[in-house]
Amino acid sequence: MATTTRSVEESCIAAKRASRELAGASSAEKDAALAAVVRLLGERTGEILEANAADLADERAVGLTEALRDRLTLSEDRVAAMAEGVRAVASLEDPIGEELERKTLSGGLDLRKLRVPLGVVAVVYEARPNVTIDCAALTIKSGNAIVLRGSSYAERSNGALATVVREALVEVGLPEDAVLLVGGGREDLVELATQEGNVDLLIPRGGEGLKNALKDVAKVPVIYAAAGNCHVYVHAEADLEMARKIAYNAKVQRPGVCNAAETLLVDAAVAADFLPGVLADLRAAGVELVGDERVRELAGEVEVGPAIEADWSTEYLDLKMTVGVVDSLEEAVDHVNHHGTTHSEAIVTSSDEASDRFTAGVDAAVVYTNASTRFTDGFEFGMGAEIGNSTQKLHARGPIGLRELTTYKYVVRGDGQVRG
* pLDDT tens digits, one per residue of 317-360: 899 999 999 999 999 999 999 999 999 999 999 999 999 999 99
| Same domain as 272, residue 135 | no
**Separation between Cα atoms, residue 39 and residue 45, nearest integer Å:** 10
Q: At what angle do helices 8-23 and 186-193 cross, to 10 degrees?
A: 40
Percent of the chain predicted with pLDDT > 90:
79
Helix (H, G, I), strand (E, B) or coil at 217: coil
Q: Supply angle C-alpha 61, 67, 69, rounded to 5.
A: 25
| Same domain as 235, residue 122 | no
* pLDDT tens digits, one per residue of 172-204: 999 999 999 998 677 788 899 999 999 999 998
Q: At what angle do helices 76-91 and 45-57 cross, to 10 degrees?
A: 120
- Report if residue 381 sits inside a domain: no
Instruction: Indicate if the pLDDT at residue 208 is higher than 80.
Output: no
DSSP per position, 296-352: HHH-TTS--EEPPGGGGG----SSEEEEEEESSHHHHHHHHHHH--SSEEEEE-S-H
Q: Give the domain CATH number at 315.
A: 3.40.309.10
| Same domain as 83, residue 66 | yes
| Same domain as 284, residue 215 | no
Q: What is the pLDDT of residue 286?
A: 96
**Separation between Cα atoms, residue 117 and residue 405, nearest integer Å:** 7
Domain range for 47 is: 8-225+387-413
Instruction: Indicate if the pLDDT at residue 376 is higher than 90.
Output: yes
* pLDDT tens digits, one per residue of 228-241: 899 999 999 999 99
- The pLDDT-based confidence of 2 (bands split at 50, 70, 90) is low
Domain total of the chain: 2
Among residues 317, 333, 140, the alpha carbon closest in space to that of 226 is found at 317
Q: What is the pLDDT of residue 4?
A: 59
The mean pLDDT of the chain is 93
Q: 43-47, 250-254, 390-394: lowest mean pLDDT where?
A: 390-394
Strand 230-234 and strand 344-348: pairing?
parallel
Helix (H, G, I), strand (E, B) or coil at 393: coil
* pLDDT tens digits, one per residue of 119-132: 999 999 887 899 99
Burial category of 352 from C-beta neighbours within 10 Å (exposed 0-12, middle 13-18, buried 19 and up): exposed
- Report if residue 184 sits inside a domain: yes
Among residues 230, 244, 207, the alpha carbon closest in space to that of 370 is found at 244
- The pLDDT-based confidence of 226 (bands split at 50, 70, 90) is low
Strand 305-306 and strand 261-267: pairing?
unpaired
Strand 120-124 and strand 201-204: pairing?
parallel
